[in-house]
Structure 1
Amino acid sequence: MTQRSRKTTARGLGLGLAAVAALLAGCGGADESVPKNAMKPLVIKEQTSAVTQGTAGFVVNWAGVVGNPNRWHFGENVAATVIGKDAAGKEVVRTEQPLDAVPPSGVLKFSGQAIASARPVQVKLTFTQPRWRRAARIPSAFVPFPISAANTEKLGNGSYLVTGAVANPYQKAATSLVVTALLRDKDGRLLGGASTYVDDVRTGAPRRFVLTVEGLNGVGPVARTEIAARTWGSSARPYEELALSGAVSAPAAKPKSPPFANDRGNQAMPEDHRP
């Protein structure tokens, strides 16, 4: 298991973009002009969990999808609380996972992992409601990050290796992105997922990623893998800065970083500190 502590670096937008940001200053930060009851709550669309035996205890893996039905607002500072209980109802694991900002009219795909002192038979995820932030651009300006060369390989012991490349559709370099892979069966049921980080993704230079989804013993064959990338952090600001820089045509260049040798990957952990 790998635990990574992330720090983001704020970068200026330049004089032209600063002028645009100044015009939109009334939209930045928490939107206190909108009554809380006017905002629709985040929707938990899917969630799943799995437990496997590890060297330091029982490894609890989870994955899910949270939707934002509000067209003009990001959901910020959202946190998931994961609680696992054993057969006697005793709590054997509890952890809080900060989630990344949920985009307007979009979804957040996430995953996490924790160690339990005993085998939990029940794992429950609950979510805090966000602080709402009015988006600085129209929803269509938040272009998704293209994924290419995706491949899923079964490793055995309920593990799957997922590799591919993520591109940046914006003029400004993406300081840090989170790539999440969700695995599904033939009926579309969510089986599990994992996440990893990719840093310094520049326009026209897709970066390769590798991650491992674990804990899928006895859940049936994997038929489909969904991969999504997003800006890292509880605040919408990194995504807004990219959108303010403007989108470019989809890059046709092949990844310039060398391919990864098959390994166990790198999974994002819920203990990561958020800005």
Structure 2
Amino acid sequence: MAAATLLAGCGGDEPQRKQTLKPLVIREQTSSVTQGTGGYVVTWAGVISNPNRWYFGENVAATVVGRDAVGKEVVRMEQPLDAVPPAGSLKFTGQAMASARPVDVKVTYKPAQWRQAARIPSAFVPFPISAAITEKLGNGSYLVTGAVGNPYQKAATSLVVTALLRDKDGRLVGGASTYVDDVHAGTPRRFVLTVDSLNGAGQVARTDITARTWGSSGRPYEELAMSGALPPSTVKPKTPPFARDRGYQAMPVDRRP
């Protein structure tokens, strides 16, 4: 889907120009099926990137279809996805129940609707993640905990935290998401989530954790950016200075005649 639109560079970042909008790019996706209570649990995770520097990708949706060994459809789910920020990416996860075991799971995507952002891309500062810990549980699941912060002056009413698990080769093996509400600047909020259905996926070596605003529209993220990001910390250090600069090294004296 492409459209020619006259862009106005915001804040002097770029001059006015015409840009052809490019479709969202599916960077990664994975799915798994495990036996659950009363059926089969189908889980999936993926990464979508937005190559358009000045536009939000909105009203994106994923369709998940699972079929059994004879080709019969045993599960279908339409999943609305959150808005994809300009020149950014969307990490997402999902889960559904199937009456019979699917042997083939496919995820397709509805094209995005485009809306020009009111701020330059650098104004959309990512939400910082701290104190992240990934712990393997005894049933093949993983517990992921940590804290998400808000770099903006305005409070974030609702954020989605997504954890993607990867093996030693960097391959995506699964993930899960949770919600955190009312995140104020300077007051990180704790999150806890469990990634299930990873039996047989191999050892998890790395966890990628991101947070984003919730909803199919980019306006919540845009409103945060318009409130302004917090300035760098200017609090004076509370510890005494070193008696001697540990990084100091005297230059050798030039004794040439």
- For residues 202 and 30 of structure 2, the distance between their equivalents in structure 1, rounded to whole angstroms, comes to 14
- For residues 198 and 230 of structure 2, the distance between their equivalents in structure 1, rounded to whole angstroms, comes to 39
Q: Which residue of 1 aligns with 2:174?
A: 192
Aligned with residue 90 of structure 1, among 68, 72, 97: 72
| Equivalent residues in 2 for 1:104-115, closer than 5 Å | 104-115=86-97
Q: Which residue of 1 aligns with 2:186?
A: 204
* 1:169 counterpart letter in structure 2: P
Q: Which residue of 2 aligns with 1:158?
A: 140
- Report Cα offsets for 1:59-98 as digits up to 9, x if no partner: 1010000010000000000000000011111110000000
The reply on whether 1:58 has 2:66 as its aligned counterpart is no
- Report Cα offsets for 1:177-208 as digits up to 9, x if no partner: 00000000010000000000000000000000
Q: Which residue of 1 aligns with 2:151?
A: 169
Q: Which residue of 2 aligns with 1:219?
A: 201
Q: Which moved more, 1:227-236 or 1:242-251?
A: 242-251
Report the Cα offset of residue 219 of structure 1: 1.1
Pairs aligned (count) = 220
| Equivalent residues in 2 for 1:1-275, closer than 5 Å | 38-249=20-231
Q: Is the alpha carbon distance of 1:247 and 1:57 closer, same or farther for their aligned partners in structure 2, counting shifts above 3 Å?
A: same
TM normalised by structure 2 equals 0.83
Q: Which has the larger radius of gyration?
A: 2
Structure 1: runs of 5+ lacking an equivalent: 1-26, 28-33, 253-275
Structure 2: runs of 5+ lacking an equivalent: 1-9, 11-16, 235-257
* 2:144 counterpart letter in structure 1: V
Q: Is the alpha carbon distance of 1:115 and 1:250 closer, same or farther for their aligned partners in structure 2, counting shifts above 3 Å?
A: farther
TM normalised by structure 1 equals 0.77
- Report Cα offsets for 1:31-56 as digits up to 9, x if no partner: xxx99x92100000000001111112
- Report Cα offsets for 1:84-133 as digits up to 9, x if no partner: 01111111000000000001111100000000010101110000111101
CA RMSD of aligned residues (A): 1.9
Q: Which structure would you say has the larger RCO, counting Cα contacts within 8 Å and 6 or more residues apart?
A: 1
Indicate the SS of the match to 2:137. Answer: strand
Q: Which residue of 2 aligns with 1:263?
A: none
As a proportion of its length, which structure holds more strand? Answer: 2
Aligned residues with identical type, % of pairs: 78
